[in-house]
Chains A and B, each alone.
Chain A
Amino acid sequence: MPRDTLEGRRMNGAKILLKALQEQGVEVVFGYPGGAVLPIYDEIFKQNQVRHILVRHEQGAVHAAEGYARSTGKVGVVLVTSGPGATNAVTGLTDALMDSVPVVCLTGQVPTHLIGNDAFQEADTVGITRPCTKHNYLVKDANKLAKIVHEAFYVARSGRPGPVVVDLPKDVVMEIGAYSTAPRGIKRQQHKTYRPAHSPDPASIEAAVDLMINADKPLFYTGGGVINAGPAAANTLRQLVKETGFPITSTLMGLGSYPASGKNWLGMVGMHGTYESNWAMHDCDVMINIGARFDDRVTGNLKHFSPNSHKIHVDIDSSSVNKNVIVDVPIIGDAGVALSAILKLWKERKAQRKAPSKTKALKAWWMDIEKWKSRDCLAFRQGKKTIKPQYAIQRLFELTKKRKTFITTEVGQHQMWAAQFYRFDKPNRWMTSGGLGTMGYGLPAAIGVQLGNPDGLVIDIAGEASILMNIQELSTAVQYRLPVKLFIINNQYMGMVRQWQELLHGGRYSESYTDSLPDFVKLADAYGMAGLRVTDPAKVDDTIKEMMAIDGPVIVDVCVDQKENCFPMIPSGAPHNEMLLGPDDDANRTVSEEGMVLV
C-alpha cells in the first residue's frame, strides 16, 4: 500500500503494528503466542510479508533475534505474550543490552483497565525491563502505536544500539486507531530528546593523531563498537592499521573487524587473551581504543592496567568514557566516522613521523612483540588417545574457513577456545554472549543467524552443559529446516567452573560435574535431526566433513579431554603481566585475597 494512502488510515491496533513492522522492513519475527497477543497473531495469520518463527522458549526468541541482528546488521524483532512470556525474555534483553545488540521486543499486556489489578498473566513489564533495556514504552492509545513502534526501531538501532521493549495492552491492539507512517529514511527520524552522538569533535581527532605520531609503542585495542559501526568501519580500520604499521588486538566482541590472518594481528586481549596481546597492553605507550569499553575481563587489575600509556578512547556512548579507566583523549562518536577522520589526518601528517627515531622505535616494539609471540602461548599437545578441545576447534576452522561460516557459542571454556582457535577474517561472523555470559545463547542465536543468512554455514560451538539450557530450540531448527550445526565440546564438566575450582578452590569440584547427560546422538534422533559422535582424534576431520555434508541440522558430540584447562589465563585481580600460561604455573602465586572476591 502506498505511503500516502496509509497515513492516517484507521484500523485496529494489531493491524497498525503489522503495518509498522512492514514499513520498518522487518522480515522475521521470533515469537511465542499467548492470550494477550492473540489479536496480533490473528493479524500475522492474515498477511505474508512478515515471517513469524515459532521458538520454543521466549529466551530463545530474544537470542535468535540477537543472532539475526548481529549477523545482518538489521534490528532483530521479538513478539511474546504478557506475564511469563515477558519475564522469560528478560535474560535475552539483558544480554542484548550488555552487548549493544539492536532488538525490538513486543510484549503483550493485560488490558489497560486491568493493569495493576494482579490480573491473570499480568507482570509489570515496563518496570521489570526498565533496567535491562535501552528504553521501553507502554502503549496506551492505538493512535500512538505506529509512532511508538517507529521510534522504538530508531532508538534500538541508532547511537549505541540496544534492546527496546514495547508493551502492548490487549485492548490497545484491539481498538481502532489511525496509522502514522515512519519518518522517511533512517537519517530523517528525529526525536524530541534522544540525539545520539555521530561525528566526533575535530579537536579530539587532532589530539589523538598527535599522540599517535609521537608514539614509540602504539597499540590498537578494538571492540564491538567497530562491528556495530558496520563493515565499512572495519575496512577503514584495516587501512589505518596498514598505514600506521601499528599492532592490533581486540576484545572478544570485536573479533573479525581486523582479520586474524592479518600481519599486525596479536590475537585477543584479556583474561584468556594471548600472551603477546596482554603484554602489549601492559607495555604500550599509546593505546588507541576504538569501540571497546575497558571491561574488567580486559583490564584485569585496574591499578596495574597499562601503567605507562596515554589512552585514546573512541566511543559513541559518552558514559563509557572515563568509567573504568581515565583516558587522555576521549573521542565521542561513531567508530566508523572517527576512524575515517583519524585515517585522513594521519595520511596528511604521517611525514612528521618519518623521523628515523620513530621508525626505529616501532621496529624495537615489534621485536618485543615477536619475543612474546615466540612463547607460543596457545600451544597444546594432541596425543593419540583423547581429543583435545583446542584441536577439535582448530580442525573445525581449517575445514570450514573457505565457506561463508558463522560461529556462535555458548559460555565456558569452549567459548574461549573458539575465540582463540577459530580465526575470523570478517566482521559479523562471530556471535557470542560477551557482557552477560549467558549459557544457552548459542543455539537460538545460530537459528537467528541462519534465518538472516540462508546460504551461510552456521555452527554453534557449544558446551554440553550450556547447550541443555536452551536445547528445546532444536525443535525450532528442525521445523524451519535450518541446517545449523551443533559442535558440542563435551567434557562432561562445566569446564570453566571446574577450571576455577582446580586453580582457586583447592580442586574441590563442587557440583561442576554433570551426571546423567543425555546421549546427544539419540537426542538428535529424537528431534528428527542427524547426530554424530567422535572420540578418536584421528576421526575428527572425517566427522567434521560428514557434518558439513549433511544438508540439515546436525549435532556433533565431540568427546574431549575432561581435564583440559583454558590458557593463557589472567586470574581475577591479577595484572596483565602475571598471566598463567599453562598447568605448571601456580595460580595461588598470582591470586590475591582481593582477587578471589572478583568474578
Chain B
Amino acid sequence: MSSNIYEGAVPVSVLKDTDVYRHTIAVLVDNEAGVLARVVGLFSGRGYNIESLTVSVVDDDVQLSRINLVTSGTRQIVEQIKAQLCRLVPVHTVKDLTDEGPSVGRELALIKVSGTGDNRVEALRIGDIFRCNVVDSTTDSFVFEVVGTSEKIDAFINLMKPLGLAEVSRTGVAAIARGSSGMEDKASPKPKAKKTVAKKVTKAKAKTSPKRKSAVKKAPSKRTKKR
C-alpha cells in the first residue's frame, strides 16, 4: 500500500544534512500500562534527545493516548527516531509535525514571582503584556499563568528572573497540525516531502558520505501503520 512505502526510509537527498534540527513529533498510542515507559526507554536506550514530552488520553472510548514530543537531531537521527517509534507494538501513528506542513504548538506555564515594591509592579505590568492570568496572589507574590509557544514562555521567564522568579512549572508542548484533516484521517492527501522546514538548532561538525545521485525520489513522510 502506498501510504507507508518509505516508512523510515527516506532517500539520500533528504538525509544528507548533518545540521541538527528540532522536530515536534506526535505519537498516537494505545493507552495501555507501560506504553510511556516504552517510549521514554527507547529515547534513553538509544541516546536520543527529549526536550519536551507530554502525554494524555485523547479518546476515552477507544483508549487512545497522544504523546507530543520535541526532540532534536540530524535528519538521519530524526528519521531513525520515527522509525523506532513506529516499531513499538502499541503505537498507532507517528506524525512529524515539523515536516508535514504547518502546525501549532502551545505550552502552559505557571510561574511564581515573589517580591515587593517596584519589582512587583513591573512583574505585573510585563505579565499583562504577555497576556498572563494571575491565578494566585499574596502580598508579596504572584502566580502567573502564561500560554504560548515555548519561546514566548522562555522569554517571559527570562524577564521575570531579575524581578524575583521563585518557581516555574511548565506543561511541555501540545502540538497539532493546521488544516482540516485529523491525525488518522486516511482520506487526507499525502503530504509532500519537504526539504526542511525545521528550525536549525546547531551545526554539526561531521561531514556526510560522498554525494551520490538518488535513485528514488519521492518520500511521503506520513508514517501510519494503517493500510
Interface residues of A (CB under 8 A from B): 126-127, 130-131, 134-135, 138, 155, 191-195, 197, 200-201, 203-204, 207-208, 210-211, 303, 307, 310, 313, 317-319, 321-323, 326-330, 332
Q: Is B92 an interface residue (CB 8 A)?
A: yes
- Give the interface segment out of B33-41, B114-122, B138-146, B153-161: B33-41
The smallest beta-carbon distance between A291 and chain B, in angstroms, is: 15
**Bound form: Cα–Cα A5–B16 in Å:** 59
In the complex, the answer to whether B84 meets A326 with C-beta atoms within 8 Å is no
Q: Is B187 an interface residue (CB 8 A)?
A: no
Q: Please judge, given known A-B contacts A195-B226, A201-B2, whether A332 and B8 are in contact too, CB under 8 Å.
A: yes
In the complex, the answer to whether A319 meets B15 with C-beta atoms within 8 Å is no
The smallest beta-carbon distance between A332 and chain B, in angstroms, is: 6
- CB contact list, B167-185 vs A, under 8 A: none
In the complex, the answer to whether B215 meets A332 with C-beta atoms within 8 Å is no
Q: Please judge, given known A-B contacts A193-B92, A203-B5, whether A130 and B80 are in contact too, CB under 8 Å.
A: no
Q: Please judge, given known A-B contacts A310-B215, A326-B15, whether A319 and B89 are in contact too, CB under 8 Å.
A: no
**Bound form: Cα–Cα A193–B11 in Å:** 26
**Bound form: Cα–Cα A191–B76 in Å:** 29
In the complex, the answer to whether B87 meets A317 with C-beta atoms within 8 Å is yes
Q: Please judge, given known A-B contacts A134-B89, A322-B76, whether A328 and B84 are in contact too, CB under 8 Å.
A: no
**Bound form: Cα–Cα A457–B182 in Å:** 58
**Bound form: Cα–Cα A144–B11 in Å:** 43
* Residue from B12, B15, B16, B226 with most neighbouring chain A CB atoms (10 Å): B12
Top-8 shortest CB links A-B? A318-B8, A330-B9, A201-B5, A319-B83, A318-B7, A135-B89, A321-B9, A195-B225
Residues of B within 8 Å of A307, CB to CB, are: 209-210
In the complex, the answer to whether B87 meets A332 with C-beta atoms within 8 Å is no
**Bound form: Cα–Cα A328–B210 in Å:** 12
In the complex, the answer to whether B90 meets A211 with C-beta atoms within 8 Å is no
The smallest beta-carbon distance between A153 and chain B, in angstroms, is: 13
Q: Is B45 an interface residue (CB 8 A)?
A: yes
**Bound form: Cα–Cα A330–B92 in Å:** 22
Known: A201-B5, A207-B216, A327-B9. 13 other contacts (CB 8 A): A155-B89, A193-B89, A201-B6, A210-B215, A211-B215, A310-B215, A319-B80, A322-B10, A322-B80, A328-B215, A328-B216, A329-B216, A330-B8
In the complex, the answer to whether B6 meets A195 with C-beta atoms within 8 Å is no
Interface of chain B, helix or strand or loop or mixed?
loop
**Bound form: Cα–Cα A587–B33 in Å:** 51
In the complex, the answer to whether B212 meets A328 with C-beta atoms within 8 Å is yes
In the complex, the answer to whether A194 meets B80 with C-beta atoms within 8 Å is no
**Bound form: Cα–Cα A207–B11 in Å:** 12
The smallest beta-carbon distance between A249 and chain B, in angstroms, is: 21
Q: Is B107 an interface residue (CB 8 A)?
A: no
Residues of A within 8 Å of B218, CB to CB, are: 203
In the complex, the answer to whether B45 meets A194 with C-beta atoms within 8 Å is no
In the complex, the answer to whether B38 meets A130 with C-beta atoms within 8 Å is yes
In the complex, the answer to whether B76 meets A326 with C-beta atoms within 8 Å is yes
Residues of A within 8 Å of B227, CB to CB, are: 195
**Bound form: Cα–Cα A58–B215 in Å:** 48
Interface residues of B (CB under 8 A from A): 2, 4-12, 15-16, 29-30, 33-34, 37-38, 41, 45, 76, 79-80, 83-84, 86-87, 89-92, 208-210, 212, 214-216, 218, 225-227
Q: Please judge, given known A-B contacts A194-B225, A201-B5, whether A310 and B216 are in contact too, CB under 8 Å.
A: no
Name which residue of chain A comes closest to B84, CB basis: A319
The smallest beta-carbon distance between A571 and chain B, in angstroms, is: 22
Residues of B within 8 Å of A134, CB to CB, are: 89
Name which residue of chain A comes closest to B16, CB basis: A326
In the complex, the answer to whether B226 meets A332 with C-beta atoms within 8 Å is no
Out of A127, A303, A310, A323, which one reaches B212, CB within 8 Å? Answer: A310
Residues of B within 8 Å of A318, CB to CB, are: 6-9, 83, 86-87
16 A-B pairs with CB atoms under 8 Å apart are A131-B41, A135-B89, A138-B34, A193-B89, A193-B225, A194-B89, A201-B6, A203-B218, A318-B6, A318-B8, A319-B80, A322-B79, A326-B12, A329-B216, A330-B8, A330-B216
In the complex, the answer to whether A319 meets B45 with C-beta atoms within 8 Å is no
In the complex, the answer to whether A193 meets B215 with C-beta atoms within 8 Å is no
Name which residue of chain B comes closest to A313, CB basis: B9
**Bound form: Cα–Cα A436–B31 in Å:** 32
Residues of A within 8 Å of B79, CB to CB, are: 322
Residues of A within 8 Å of B8, CB to CB, are: 318-319, 321-322, 330, 332
Residues of B within 8 Å of A201, CB to CB, are: 2, 5-6
Out of B6, B38, B89, which one reaches A330, CB within 8 Å? Answer: B6
Out of A127, A211, A319, which one reaches B87, CB within 8 Å? Answer: A319
The smallest beta-carbon distance between A157 and chain B, in angstroms, is: 13
Q: Please judge, given known A-B contacts A193-B92, A322-B76, whether A328 and B34 are in contact too, CB under 8 Å.
A: no
Name which residue of chain A comes closest to B89, CB basis: A135
In the complex, the answer to whether B33 meets A138 with C-beta atoms within 8 Å is yes
The smallest beta-carbon distance between B106 and chain A, in angstroms, is: 27
Name which residue of chain A comes closest to B38, CB basis: A130
Residues of B within 8 Å of A322, CB to CB, are: 8-10, 15, 76, 79-80
Name which residue of chain A comes closest to B76, CB basis: A322
* Residue from A200, A208, A330 with most neighbouring chain B CB atoms (10 Å): A330
**Bound form: Cα–Cα A533–B83 in Å:** 52
Residues of A within 8 Å of B10, CB to CB, are: 322
In the complex, the answer to whether B89 meets A332 with C-beta atoms within 8 Å is no
In the complex, the answer to whether A130 meets B216 with C-beta atoms within 8 Å is no
In the complex, the answer to whether B9 meets A207 with C-beta atoms within 8 Å is no
Residues of B within 8 Å of A328, CB to CB, are: 11-12, 212, 214-216
The smallest beta-carbon distance between A592 and chain B, in angstroms, is: 16
**Bound form: Cα–Cα A127–B34 in Å:** 8
The smallest beta-carbon distance between A241 and chain B, in angstroms, is: 22
**Bound form: Cα–Cα A303–B209 in Å:** 7
In the complex, the answer to whether B37 meets A127 with C-beta atoms within 8 Å is yes
**Bound form: Cα–Cα A210–B16 in Å:** 22
Q: Please judge, given known A-B contacts A318-B83, A332-B7, whether A130 and B37 are in contact too, CB under 8 Å.
A: yes
In the complex, the answer to whether A126 meets B215 with C-beta atoms within 8 Å is no
In the complex, the answer to whether B215 meets A323 with C-beta atoms within 8 Å is no
Residues of B within 8 Å of A321, CB to CB, are: 8-9, 83
**Bound form: Cα–Cα A329–B9 in Å:** 9
Residues of B within 8 Å of A191, CB to CB, are: 89
In the complex, the answer to whether B41 meets A319 with C-beta atoms within 8 Å is no
The smallest beta-carbon distance between B82 and chain A, in angstroms, is: 9
The smallest beta-carbon distance between B64 and chain A, in angstroms, is: 10
The smallest beta-carbon distance between B139 and chain A, in angstroms, is: 44
The smallest beta-carbon distance between B193 and chain A, in angstroms, is: 14
**Bound form: Cα–Cα A330–B212 in Å:** 15
**Bound form: Cα–Cα A194–B87 in Å:** 8
The smallest beta-carbon distance between B223 and chain A, in angstroms, is: 8
The smallest beta-carbon distance between B207 and chain A, in angstroms, is: 9
The smallest beta-carbon distance between B100 and chain A, in angstroms, is: 17
In the complex, the answer to whether B6 meets A207 with C-beta atoms within 8 Å is no
